Amino acid sequence: MGYLLLEGGAEFGGQMRTPDLKALELAGGWDTPIRIIPTAAAPDNNQQRAGNNGKRWFESLGAKDVAVVPLIDKASANNKDIADALRTAKLIYLLGGFTHYLGQTLKDSLAWNAVLEAYRDGAVIAGSSAGAMVLCEFYFDPSAGKVVDGLNLIPNALVLPHHNTFGKGWAPRLLKEILHVILIGIDERTGMIADGPSGEWIVLGQGAVTLYRHGVSDVFRAGAIFSI
């Protein structure tokens, strides 16, 4: 298996340098193929701008092979060429935006199956805000006000992005609705990386990660290591 990187949002403002450099290292270095999925930005026709922001960011870190895949709807999610591009990537990054649109577009698609193959072959799968949310077994769809099944790379978990701004406001309601699910609050400009086969996570970046489990909340700051 590969590695997972979950980020809390505000990803390309210059404060995510530490977690993103770690992801690049784990993926294989400067020449590793990086593919950005801009799907979550497509509903308001923002996918090109958001994708290019991500491309410029990773290139500013020194990456040499960065491309935005034109995955914007269910048809393109089942495009063989797009799936092939993802299958051979070593760092796949899901941008933030419209959570439910992203989750439903990727679900059961050729593209998502290709992402899973890349992950099994050692790739880093990363997501920020909505991109991190859909990677869990469950996500909260704020537009519908309900909990939805996610893509389940992290079982029995649900991410609260932008935790230090608005995400923490979702916690009281969700703690009552999904009693046995671990809530993962990730601050903006903060990431958490799964340390491969050990099953442990490390916090990197400016803020903190807050775990809500078994009726208790635990806060982990940069450098802290924990398990879910």
Q: Tens of pLDDT along 33-89? A: 999 999 999 999 999 999 999 999 999 999 999 999 999 999 999 999 999 999 999
Q: Residue 22: which residues within 8 A CB-CB, separation 6 or more?
A: 5, 193, 204
pLDDT tens for each residue of 151-164: 999 999 999 999 99
Average pLDDT, rounded, for the chain: 95
Q: 80 and 110 in contact (C-beta within 8 Å)?
A: yes
With a cut of 90, say whether residue 14 has pLDDT above it: no
With a cut of 70, say whether residue 145 has pLDDT above it: yes
Q: In what order do the strands lie in the sheet with 216-221?
A: 157-160, 182-186, 208-213, 216-221
User: What DSSP assignment string belongs to 12-36?
Assistant: TSSS-HHHHHHHHHHHTSTTSEEEE
Percent of the chain residues topping a pLDDT of 70 = 99
For residue 81, the model assigns a pLDDT of 98
What is the reported pTM? Answer: 0.96
**Arithmetic mean of pLDDT, 92-114:** 98
Residue written as tokens 């935790």?
Answer: 163
Q: 132 and 8 in contact (C-beta within 8 Å)?
A: yes
**Arithmetic mean of pLDDT, 118-130:** 97
Tell me the CB-side half-sphere exposure of residue 8, using CA atoms within 13 A: 28
For residue 197, the model assigns a pLDDT of 67
Q: Is 148 helix (H, G, I), strand (E, B) or coil?
A: strand
